Amino acid sequence: MSYIRMRKRHTKLWSLVMMHQDKLMFKFIVLLSILLCVSCTKNTDEDFDEVELKSNYESYSGAYSKLKDMMNTDSKEMAIFEIGIDSIGDYKFDGDGWYKNYKEYVSYDVVLGVYMLSDERIQNYIGLLKETGAQKVEFYRGNVAITVLANGFVFGGCLSQIYFHPVKTELERPSWTTTYYSARFSENWSGETKCN
C-alpha cells in the first residue's frame, strides 16, 4: 500500500473519530445544560414561607424545646454536635450500613462512640425528628438549628430551619438568596427559609 493511500485512509479514519468525539461532546454539553437548568429550578410550593414557618413552630414547639434541651445536655461542651434521621456527626447511613468515607462501613458502636451516647438516646433524637418531620438537629456553640426542609440539587434549592439562639439575634437575608422568608416566634426562637 502506498504512503499516499495510507495517509488518505488514516485521514478518513481520523475524521470519523473526530466526528464521533464532536457528537459525544455535543451530547455532554446538552446533558450538562439540562442538569444546570433543572438544578436551578425549584418547586416553590415546597418552600416554607413566614406563615408556614410559624405554623410549623407552633405545632411542634414542645418537641423542638426537648431537642434543644437534649442537645444542650449531650453536647458535653463540644463546639459542634449534629444528629439527623440518617446521620450522626460525620457518619451517614445508606441502608447498607454506617460510613464516614463513601462505602467504607463501620460498626454502629463506632458511630455511637462519636458522641458517647446510648442507642436509646439516639433513638430519642430520631423519634423527635420523625415526630416533627424534621431531618436533623445541629448544635453550634449554644445555638440550635433544626432543619425542617431541605430540597434541591447542587446549584438550586431551599433550606428551612427553626433556630434557638441563647441571645436574641436578628436574622438577615444572605446576599446569595433568590427567595427568603423569616419569622420570629419569641425572643430566642425564630425560623428562616433560604433558597438559591
Average pLDDT of the chain?
Answer: 82
Domain spans of the chain?
1-40, 44-195
Closest by alpha carbon to 134, among 39, 45, 48, 40? 48
Integer Cα distance of 34 and 38 in angstroms:
6
Residues 6 or more apart in contact with residue 78 via CB below 8 angstroms: 115, 139
Mean pLDDT comparison of 17-21, 62-66, 170-174, highest-scoring range = 62-66
pLDDT of residue 95: 87
Burial class (CB in 10 A: 0-12, 13-18, 19+), 20: exposed
**pLDDT tens-digit series, residues 102-161:** 878 999 999 988 888 899 999 999 999 999 999 999 998 889 999 998 887 556 789 999
- Measured in degrees and rounded to the nearest 5, phi and psi for residue 139 equal -120, 130
Mean pLDDT of 165-184: 90
Beta carbons of 169 and 155 less than 8 angstroms apart = no
